[in-house]
Chains A and B, each alone.
Chain A
Amino acid sequence: MKPLFIALTAALGLLGVDVAGLAAPWRWAVEGGMILLLFLAWRARGQGGADPEKVTEERGETVAPARPETASGELIRTLEGELREESASTAEEVRRVQALLHEAVTGLAREFENMSCFAQRQEAIVTEILEHNSGGSDGGVNVRQFAEDTSHLMEEFISILTSVSEQSVETAHHIDDMVEHLDGIFDLLDDVKSIADQTNLLALNAAIEAARAGEAGRGFAVVADEVRNLSARSTAFNDQIKEQVAKAKGAITHVNKTVNAMASRDLQVTIEARNRVQRTLRAVEDMNVFFAAKIGEVSALGEEQAQAVATAVRGLQFEDICRQSLEAAEISLERVQEMISLLRDVAAGDTDVVARLQTAREQWSTTRHKAVAQEGMDSGDVELF
């Protein structure tokens, strides 16, 4: 029985190797070895005692071949039972892994999509905020427009200030001219006064001469007196005119003060205000540039994120490879179970085993599972089966 035992154990060992090495290219060699060993086992089995069928033919009797309760037969049945249990257990685990894998991957894919949606919504909100702040939308606070309007107002104000200044100084010039004219009048009045004074003197002289001429000069004396009266009245008028002109000059000098105030505005405040407005405009420009840059950054990030999600989802395709590997494992397990049955038949003395094994191998070769070339997720696209 020893050769039989050794051969069977060796065959089981090879079987184990075959199942384990699912993707090995040397399966052919392994299975060939297994067949050889099974054949030897079958031959060895016949050596331990007389071949029951041969014995029957020699005897000429129909004797039901007694089922030999050999030690090795029981061992084989035990082994077969264990193998069957283990392979069933393995098959169960394979199925469980398949289910878990599918559930997990489906869940992950769904969550990636959710993440992607959230990210897109975030991006939209940020863009909305930034556009609102830069006054892009209708209802938004348009700081830039405000700064520009203020700047224009400043320009207009300065323009008006300059105009008023020009007109004020021109008014001052006219007033100066008026004062000159009035002073001219004063000079004239002085001349008139001196003429009146001289007239008075002359009239006085005439009166003295008239008195000296006695009775003959009486008429002349009267005329001289009248002339003196006239010159006195003239002087009086002169004084009155002078008074009026002086009042006029006084009033005009008053106006001069007002014009002075109008023309003289300190420009420092205006300059500072204008500079502040310019600075604000520049700050608004900078702010717009900043926002535009940030929107650009957010967009770029959004794209990167979308790509990352796509890569992650692609990564989940490992499920396909795994599933196919697991399906191949299931098929291999089925074949193992077939072989376990064959093993049982060997133990029961079935002479047909080799032939059946050959048939099975031929069947299997037509649906041989192609080893998956891809070792990992990095090596490019997934092979389509």
Chain B
Amino acid sequence: MSIEVKKSSDGKELTIYLDEQFDFAHHKDFREAYRNEPANLRYRVNMARARYLDSSALGMLLLLKKHAGGEAADIILEDVPGEIREVLEVANFHKIFTLR
């Protein structure tokens, strides 16, 4: 099991499905998912399977936002489990990203 990437039929939305561990070991795969895509896509990070985040996960998400245009980025973190939400809130990520 690793990171999966799906693009919508109209090509305007990209969803990255995360694995149980979202840490530094996955940094290359995560980057590859969006590296060659344009900045103006709708980006969705699906965290339904995620169980563990470390600080590198925070960095990776911030770099995705940077790629997608910074303040103008359209990014939503979907299906965030309760414990993961707590981690994100400690880092004030609920103020930086839209959490669902």
- Assembly CA distance A155 to B95 (angstroms): 13
Tell me, yes or no, whether B1 is within 8 Å of chain A by CB.
Answer: no
Query: Would you call B56 and A264 a contact (CB within 8 A)?
Result: yes
Q: A172-B27, A260-B24, A267-B54 are in contact. Are A158 and B63 (CB under 8 A)?
A: no
Query: Given B24, B31, B53, B86, which contacts A263 in the complex, CB threshold below 8 Å?
Result: B24
Interface of B is mostly: helix
Contacts of B54 in A (CB 8 A): 264-267
- Assembly CA distance A121 to B94 (angstroms): 53
Ordered nearest first, which 8 A-B pairs have the shortest CB separation? A165-B59, A169-B59, A265-B55, A263-B56, A165-B55, A166-B59, A166-B62, A264-B24
- Assembly CA distance A161 to B86 (angstroms): 16
Contacts of A235 in B (CB 8 A): none
Query: Would you call B58 and A165 a contact (CB within 8 A)?
Result: yes
B28 to chain A, nearest CB (A): 6
Q: A166-B63, A170-B63 are in contact. Are A161 and B28 (CB under 8 A)?
A: no
Query: Would you call B28 and A263 a contact (CB within 8 A)?
Result: no
- Assembly CA distance A235 to B86 (angstroms): 59
Tell me, yes or no, whether B73 is within 8 Å of chain A by CB.
Answer: no
Tell me, yes or no, whether A106 is within 8 Å of chain B by CB.
Answer: no
Contacts of B58 in A (CB 8 A): 161-162, 165-166
B-side residues, CB < 8 A to A, are 23-24, 27-28, 31, 53-56, 58-60, 62-63, 86-87, 90-92
- Assembly CA distance A264 to B62 (angstroms): 15
Contacts of A263 in B (CB 8 A): 24, 27, 55-56, 59
- Assembly CA distance A165 to B62 (angstroms): 9
A-B contact pairs, 27 of them (CB 8 A): A155-B92, A158-B91, A158-B92, A161-B58, A161-B91, A162-B58, A162-B59, A162-B62, A164-B55, A165-B58, A166-B58, A166-B63, A168-B56, A168-B59, A169-B56, A169-B63, A173-B63, A176-B31, A260-B24, A263-B24, A264-B23, A264-B54, A264-B55, A265-B56, A267-B54, A267-B90, A274-B90
Select from chain B the residue with minimum beta-carbon distance to A171.
Answer: B59
Q: A165-B55, A168-B56 are in contact. Are A158 and B27 (CB under 8 A)?
A: no
Query: Given B53, B60, B86, B90, which contacts A169 in the complex, CB threshold below 8 Å?
Result: B60
Within 8 A of B (CB), among A169-194: 169-170, 172-173, 176
A-side residues, CB < 8 A to B, are 155, 158-159, 161-162, 164-170, 172-173, 176, 260, 263-267, 270-271, 274
Query: Given A155, A161, A173, which contacts B55 in the complex, CB threshold below 8 Å?
Result: A161
Contacts of A265 in B (CB 8 A): 54-56
Select from chain A the residue with minimum beta-carbon distance to B88.
Answer: A267
- Assembly CA distance A162 to B59 (angstroms): 6
Contacts of B56 in A (CB 8 A): 165, 168-169, 263-265
- Assembly CA distance A155 to B92 (angstroms): 9
Query: Would you call B27 and A267 a contact (CB within 8 A)?
Result: no
- Assembly CA distance A270 to B63 (angstroms): 22
Contacts of A165 in B (CB 8 A): 55-56, 58-59, 62
Looking at B24, B59, B63, the one whose CB has the most chain A CB atoms below 10 A away is B59
Query: Would you call A270 and B31 a contact (CB within 8 A)?
Result: no
- Assembly CA distance A299 to B73 (angstroms): 58
Contacts of A260 in B (CB 8 A): 24
Query: Would you call B24 and A271 a contact (CB within 8 A)?
Result: no
Contacts of A266 in B (CB 8 A): 54-55
- Assembly CA distance A167 to B27 (angstroms): 13
A161 to chain B, nearest CB (A): 6
Query: Would you call B92 and A176 a contact (CB within 8 A)?
Result: no
Contacts of B59 in A (CB 8 A): 162, 165-170, 263
- Assembly CA distance A159 to B91 (angstroms): 7
Query: Would you call A267 and B63 a contact (CB within 8 A)?
Result: no
Contacts of A264 in B (CB 8 A): 23-24, 54-56
- Assembly CA distance A132 to B86 (angstroms): 37
Select from chain B the residue with minimum beta-carbon distance to A161.
Answer: B55
Query: Given B31, B63, B90, which contacts A271 in the complex, CB threshold below 8 Å?
Result: B90
- Assembly CA distance A161 to B53 (angstroms): 14
